């Protein structure tokens, strides 16, 4: 089969001879992929920032597909079902899954002390093959996957596997109250969706900060918010303080993670060498821009090693920090309702539809922010009309 193949930092290709996945456990399903995405988180591993990313890996944690085969322990799905698959691989029975912490499943990645299993996201997340392929093995198929409603567009469905729930949970973890000022660092797909979702929780003002003009233009239009280029602001923290009456934002969201730009030292230590778990520039800005007693919500991805974070300011300002991988299974029902009622239009952020065979070009376009790329979608040959 054809599948994305990682050959080292900045090197991927379409491998036409990847072995077909097989049923390995009674609760497995084999799925024929109909849509998959390249995620901003994939760029972290593409750039070599995630440890134990092995040559030969197939990335891709956002995908939909048609069930081709099920193990004898699968009774919630049948051959022919068209499903959307959460990026979290969750057993549904461990203590963390029972708390709806599906991103922290203990069984799907039992050798880790933090994150659960994730499709196509290095061996630190379990070493599972991802969905940027023609076929993929789906473990615990009774738990995570959901049958796509007949009325739902596939392009909307694939974004419910990560982008929409992650943006939604970023806003949810912010504890947004009616009238709050919310500042979001990062105008990639997650930041864009967090900005859109902030209004659903009652925000009175939403501000997005980035440095890529076409992304700022996009988020202004899509999320009806303010958007600013940090290169034109001077001191970002001072700007946020000044525009909020010198108190700071009620809620700050880090939707960037370890690939952040904007600080030479952070970039050198977190991205160029790297000695830390990524450049924590956006997290610095979030901590220092939020008001005393405010909330910082983190959905940006950082590596498992230490990062340069001003923890003293967290303590002295009395901040609440909330962070996690999105619990997609928990959020899917309400997000389906938001899409059905027209409150969210996920597919509008898709700017590029790319044949799976051209996955290398897709990564090049997305990584280098070419052609006004916001969100690239990969489509296997068998799913193209």
Listed residue (252, 269, 264, 272) closest to 307, CA to CA? 269
Tell me, what's the pLDDT at 63? 98
Residues contacting 310, CB < 8 A, separation 6+: 284, 287, 288
**Res 196: pLDDT:** 98
| C-alpha span between 170 and 191 (Å, rounded) | 9
Q: What is the pLDDT of residue 257?
A: 87
Position 299 scores a pLDDT of 96
Q: pLDDT tens string for the chain (385 positions)? A: 999 999 999 999 999 999 999 999 999 999 999 999 999 999 989 998 888 899 999 999 999 999 999 999 999 999 999 999 999 999 999 999 999 999 999 999 988 778 899 999 999 999 999 999 999 999 999 999 999 999 999 999 999 999 999 999 999 999 999 999 999 999 999 999 999 999 999 999 999 999 999 999 999 999 999 999 999 999 999 999 999 999 999 999 999 988 888 888 788 877 777 777 788 899 999 999 999 999 999 999 887 777 788 899 999 999 999 999 999 999 999 999 999 999 999 999 999 999 999 999 999 999 999 999 999 999 999 998 6
* Domain residue spans of the chain: 3-162+327-383, 165-323
The per-residue pLDDT for 110 is: 85
CATH assignment of 3-162+327-383?
3.90.180.10
This prediction has a pTM of 0.95
CA distance 127 to 132: 15
Distance (Å, rounded) from C-alpha 355 to C-alpha 357? 5
Half-sphere exposure of 163 (CA within 13 A, CB side): 34
Using CB atoms within 10 A of its CB, is residue 294 exposed (0-12), middle (13-18) or buried (19+)? buried
**CATH, domain range 165-323:** 3.40.50.720
């Amino acid at each position: 089969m054809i599948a994305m193949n990682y050959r080292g930092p900045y090197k991927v290709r379409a491998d036409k001879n990847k072995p077909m996945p097989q049923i390995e456990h009674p609760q497995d399903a084999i799925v024929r992929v109909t849509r998959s995405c390249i995620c901003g988180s994939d760029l972290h591993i593409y750039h070599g920032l995630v440890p134990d990313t092995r040559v030969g890996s197939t990335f891709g944690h956002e995908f939909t597909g048609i069930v081709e085969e099920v193990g004898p322990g699968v009774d919630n799905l049948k051959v022919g079902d068209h499903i959307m698959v959460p990026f979290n691989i969750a057993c549904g029975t461990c203590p963390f899954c029972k708390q709806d912490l599906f991103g922290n499943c203990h069984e799907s990645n039992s050798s880790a002390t933090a994150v659960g299993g994730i499709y196509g996201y290095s061996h630190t997340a379990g070493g599972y093959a991802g969905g940027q392929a023609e076929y993929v093995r789906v473990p615990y198929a009774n738990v995570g996957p959901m049958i796509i409603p007949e009325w739902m567009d596939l392009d909307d469905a694939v974004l419910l596997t990560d982008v929409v729930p992650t943006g939604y949970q970023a806003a949810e973890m912010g504890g947004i109250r009616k009238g709050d000022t919310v500042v979001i660092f990062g105008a990639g797909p997650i930041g864009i969706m967090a900005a859109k979702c902030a209004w659903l929780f009652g925000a009175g003002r939403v501000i997005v900060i980035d440095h890529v003009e076409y992304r700022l233009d996009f988020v202004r239009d899509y999320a009806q918010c303010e958007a600013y280029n940090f290169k034109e602001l001077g001191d970002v923290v001072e700007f946020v303080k000044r525009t909020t009456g010198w108190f700071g934002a009620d809620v700050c969201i880090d939707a960037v993670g370890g690939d952040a730009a904007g600080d030479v030292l952070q970039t050198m230590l977190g991205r160029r060498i790297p000695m830390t778990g990524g450049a924590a520039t956006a997290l610095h800005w979030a901590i220092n821009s939020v008001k005393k007693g405010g909330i910082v919500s983190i959905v940006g991805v950082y590596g498992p090693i230490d990062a340069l974070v001003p923890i003293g300011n967290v303590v002295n300002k009395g901040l609440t920090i909330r962070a996690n991988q999105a619990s997609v299974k928990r959020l899917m029902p309400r997000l389906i309702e938001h899409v059905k009622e027209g409150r969210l239009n996920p597919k509008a952020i898709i700017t590029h539809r790319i044949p799976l065979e051209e996955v290398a070009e897709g990564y090049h376009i997305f990584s280098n922010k070419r052609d006004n790329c916001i969100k690239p979608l990969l489509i296997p040959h068998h799913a193209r009309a």
